[in-house]
Amino acid sequence: MKHTRIRGPLAAAAVLALGISLAGAAVTGGDPAGGTGTDVSGQDGSAPPTGRFTKRVVATGLDNPYEIVRAPDGALWATEKSGKKVTRVDPKSGAKTTLLSLPKAVHSQGGQDGVLGLALEERPKGAGLYAYVAYSHDIDPTPVVQARTKIERYTYDADAQRLEDPKTVIAGMPSGNDHQSARLRLGPDGKLYYTIGDQGTNQFGNFCRHNYAQRLPTAEEVRTRDWIAYQGKTLRLNTDGSVPSENPVLDGVRSHVYTYGHRNAQGLAFGPDGTLYQNDQGPKTDDEINILRKGANYGWPNVAGYRDDKAYVYGNWSASWPTPCDELTFSDFEIPETVPVQQETDFTQPFVPPVRTFGTVDTGYNFKDPKCAEGELWAVCWPTIAPSSFEHYGSSRKAGEPGPGIPGWSDSLVMTTLKDGTVYRVDFAENGQDLRGVVKLFSEQNRFRDAEFSADGKSIFVATDVAGIVRDARGAPASGPLENPGSIIEYRWQP
């Protein structure tokens, strides 16, 4: 791996996570309605052009809902990240029922850990429902918290409206207070798919931790169930937690790893033909939409977005020498000479580029926008949008479900965002591979965390965070509280 050192004027660089974005120039790809595909939005970015959405607040008082899933009876099931439970919500009345409490779950104040991913499996011949739940927990009996992530399978008792009889699928996976990702899906092949982020390494309070997004597990680690290398990966598991025999062999080892080189992939969705879509949050630049290929490398932290050397270099704080990292002070905007740095084009290994990026800017872009100077809320003004989920319209609606749904949406995904406060429609061609365009559906002073569709396909249900900052129409930090904190909102399409 080739490293260079930043000296002189280049030392004043804008840095986030494992990279830096070099200071001062024009935005070339920051507009979500732009990009390489054909934009299917109207002049003002609204959609669909033949109808409108009406808004209704379904339920409030949820404690950071993270994943919402439609159950076979039409009810919405939601994990509550900081509430440490799974809640059933009646989409008509908004009535809430606690299906599962997990007081042993770990949630750090303001952190991204807690009760996270959720997937449902209908058992054969009407035998009921399984729920797979991913959550952080403490493996240390002392007061010192050593958090790990586990996935458990629960059986649903429909009469008692409770999840019971937990069975461990996998335990001991990485956990921490940042970049958990934690999207859990049951694939059309009957396997579980799960995203694990890079744990926020090399930034903020974790800036001295090594990033393992490119590190692959060894045979000994797989044998001893040491999952440290699962950071920055998409996993594929049998429902009993074992390694599927068809999983890729990477560096001579078959493990749960399906893809690698990810930062914080909070969006994961299957299309009707089995295509697996993902979105991944970039550092200061280059949020990504990816199509996942078995065994593929997606580049992080060596590459953010495309391998174009635009406004990003990989600055590896954890490898600082001769001054050790723990003697440094982390900065978003300056990188010490002791920290090794490489350009994106220094990374010569094969990797799969994204099909679309958001917030790609030229080298020299000013990441200290004056609109965000008060309180130094610089990240709000960075051109990224912070995608937080993916839901495919065509595969969400099963055959035989009532109504025609929304015309023209069968090849589209809905993508929620956090600091951008916007829900987007991401439209693909019929082949499921070529991205046609991105449409802004609605923007509010809310941090949108996840989405689900109604059975008739005419409603989008969206979960919101309890707190956090969003930007206003000027791109500045919005003033005042969030509009609908800790809620599930229905946006109903009216033709």
Please check whether residue 4 is in contact with residue 339, taking contact to mean a CB–CB distance below 8 angstroms.
no
Q: For the chain, what is the radius of gyration of the CA atoms?
A: 22
Helix (H) or strand (E) holding 472: none
Catalytic residue among 137, 179, 210, 262: 179
Residue type, 310: K
Cα 397 to the center of its chain, rounded Å: 22
- Block residue for tokens 């260079």: 4
Residue type, 305: G
Q: Is 224 helix (H, G, I), strand (E, B) or coil?
A: coil
CA-based nearest residue to 269, from 291, 253, 236, 247: 291
Q: Give 432's contacts (C-beta < 8 A, 6+ positions apart).
A: 271, 272, 273, 275, 411
Task: Tell me if residue 179 is catalytic.
Answer: yes
Please check whether residue 427 is in contact with residue 411, taking contact to mean a CB–CB distance below 8 angstroms.
yes
Please give the DSSP secondary-structure letter assigned to residue 181: E
Q: Is residue 261 left, alpha or beta, with left meaning phi > 0 and alpha meaning psi from -120 to 50?
A: left
CB count within 10 Å of CB 144 equals 7
Helix (H) or strand (E) holding 306: none
Residues in the chain: 495
Active site members: 179
